[in-house]
Amino acid sequence: MASKTLYSQRDPMLKRDGFEDILEERRNSSDLKYALRCYAPVLYKGVTPCKANMLKNIVLQSDQLHYVINQVSQESGEAPDIIQEEASVILEEMAHRLQISTVRFFAFALSKAFKTLFQHVCVNEEGIQRLQQAIQEHPVVLLPSHRSYMDFLLMSYILYTYDLALPVIAAGMDFMGMKFVGEMLRMSGAFFIRRSFGGDKLYWAVFSEYVKTMLRNGFAPIEFFLEGTRSRTCKSLTPKLGLLNIVIEPFFKGEVFDVNLVPVSISYERILEESLYARELLGVPKPKESTSGLLKARRILSEDYGSIHVYFGQPVSVRSLAQGKVNRSTYNLFPRHIPRKPMEETQSFVNDTAYRIVRLQEDNMVLKPWVLMASLLLQNLEGLELSVLTEQTVWLRGLALSYAAFLDWPDHAPTAKVVSSSLALHRGLACVSGGRVSLVVGEPLGPVTPEEALFNRAVSVLSCASYRNQVLHVFLRPAMLAVAMHTAASSKKSEWPGCRPTLISFNNNILSMHLFLW
């Protein structure tokens, strides 16, 4: 497998983890042999693998679930046996049924699809080694960024490739309704949960006990998206704390020694859903997940989506984070099986941890040249001369590196070639005409109203903005400083040593675009 190293300019000698392209081997060997190879992942120390049915029995017999069943029985007046049956039905609807035969089918099918869709799928080798070690020591929770439907398929594919334990993945009920596909996802490790539980005490008890049982027993790494849903803007969303609370609770109650939270950053050179996201942001209803919709989407197989970089971050120890912040002894004052609302200091800790993970995801996002070019084009909506765009992209690259951006810039390639390659890949968003680069607006099939023309223009701008947004975390803090400097009463530039007017202007613009253009 090819290996490539990316560098950070924060310290010229500071090397980022090396990446290897896992598709390189797939292009040179049999996909069937890959899917049928011996799969023997390392497990959490001392764990005896248990079947999915055994896992369900453990959940249904747990003290916590029995406690809630009796509570609900008293509140509703129904017999405990009836409530127990309801709990069993909920769990049957929710639980995964991981089967290696289905995993092998996906391994074969995804190999074919990924080789068609992507030029490279690059994974940091050191991150995989860290994860392999972490899985053996403590329960692991995988927390990937979420920019595409492809994320959870990609995660399982990578772990299978490296002979690591496949995760059990929290998925929305929308996917369960897809004929055949829903069951196949269930048999590859997905468990299905409602988008909201309302005041359904029984559902919450079944769900939380199911997740905690898998965590305590080290059944498999647990995977969920901290943001709760895909980000249509490619900005990080406010993290949802429910599931994070659940996976951290066993540590507070002393049921596990530690929990490792692993941030994973998935960076797409070209997003599969780019135009779909823009339309949703403009009010077009989200298409319902369906098998027929999936089959219609197969036309994307004729497109080139560039490269993907997947960065497995340093495992974050909950035990280390909580030291001196949460008094765990208070959890000994009540029986473990009695559900309790988290204390204020616990809620604060979980909230801080969630934002820490999101920040780590951002820091390890790999930025492509197009991200910089999109930022410049959105500040010049009337277009730019190709030579000017090239010159400004080089300038912005240097600026991004000085702020420790994680850039994937082709080694030893002429800048003009890098820019032209990016424009070719994103030809649906930008074009070169008469030596000038401008955003592409979809060609209408017939006469259009002014409103339709404006809508088409907005789709183009918002699609481009989704790439610009990927670099916001790099410039946001300097941009806030630039705005403060820009609005300061003093006009003496000498009072701001080391800050060029161009730099202040760019950062000011990037923040204003962030605030007023999704």
Tens of pLDDT, residues 251-268? 999 999 999 999 999 999
Q: How far apart are CA 509 and CA 490, in angstroms?
A: 20
Contact between residue 214 and residue 168 where contact means Cβ atoms under 8 Å apart: yes
> What integer pLDDT is reported at residue 511 of this predicted model?
56
Q: Residue range 105-112: average pLDDT? A: 96
Sorted by where each starts, the structural domains of the chain and their CATH numbers stand as 97-363 (3.40.1130), 369-516 (no CATH)
State how far the alpha carbon of 67 is from the alpha carbons of 60, 73, 85, 163, 450, in Å: 11, 10, 15, 39, 62
> What integer pLDDT is reported at residue 14 of this predicted model?
46
Q: How far apart are CA 353 and CA 359, in angstroms?
A: 10
> What integer pLDDT is reported at residue 74 of this predicted model?
94
> What integer pLDDT is reported at residue 68 of this predicted model?
95
- pLDDT of 518 > 60? The answer is no
Q: How far apart are CA 474 and CA 443, in angstroms?
A: 34
- pLDDT of 63 > 80? The answer is yes
Give the rounded distance of the alpha carbon of 290 from its chain centre: 22
Count of beta carbons in the 10 Å neighbourhood of residue 129: 13
Per-residue pLDDT of 467-515, as tens digits, reads: 999 999 998 888 888 777 777 655 555 555 555 556 556 655 655 555 4
Q: How far apart are CA 361 and CA 80, in angstroms?
A: 45
Q: How far apart are CA 376 and CA 384, in angstroms?
A: 9
**Token pair of 322 as six digits:** 């909580």
From 81-90, 197-206, 349-358, the region with the lowest mean pLDDT: 197-206
Per-residue pLDDT of 150-182, as tens digits, reads: 999 999 999 999 999 999 999 988 888 777 888
Helix (H), strand (E), coil (C) string for 452-479:
HHHHHHHHHHHHHHHHHHHHHHHHHHHH
Instruction: Identify the H or E element spanning 216.
Output: helix 201-216
Per-residue pLDDT of 419-476, as tens digits, reads: 999 999 999 999 999 999 999 876 665 677 888 888 889 999 999 999 999 999 998 8
Work out the angle between the directed axes of helices 52-60 and 201-216 (0-180°, nearest 10): 130
> What integer pLDDT is reported at residue 7 of this predicted model?
45
| Nearest C-alpha neighbor of 313 from the set 353, 240, 365 | 365
Query: Within 13 Å, how many C-alpha atoms sit on residue 14's CB side?
Result: 9
> What integer pLDDT is reported at residue 49 of this predicted model?
67
Q: How far apart are CA 34 and CA 405, in angstroms?
A: 35
Q: How far apart are CA 363 and CA 261, in angstroms?
A: 16
Q: What are phi and psi of 354, to 5 degrees?
A: -60, -45
| Sheet strand arrangement including 430-433 | 384-385, 436-439, 430-433
Q: Considering the chain, what is the average pLDDT of its residues?
A: 87
From 106-110, 119-123, 181-185, 310-314, the region with the lowest mean pLDDT: 181-185
- pLDDT of 12 > 50? The answer is no
Q: Residue range 49-75: average pLDDT? A: 91
Strand partners for 308: 121, 268
- In the chain, % of residues over pLDDT 70: 87
Q: For residue 516, what pLDDT band results from cuts at 50, 70 and 90? A: very low
Q: Residue range 64-77: average pLDDT? A: 94
From 20-24, 34-38, 319-323, 511-515, the region with the lowest mean pLDDT: 511-515
Q: For residue 305, what pLDDT band results from cuts at 50, 70 and 90? A: very high
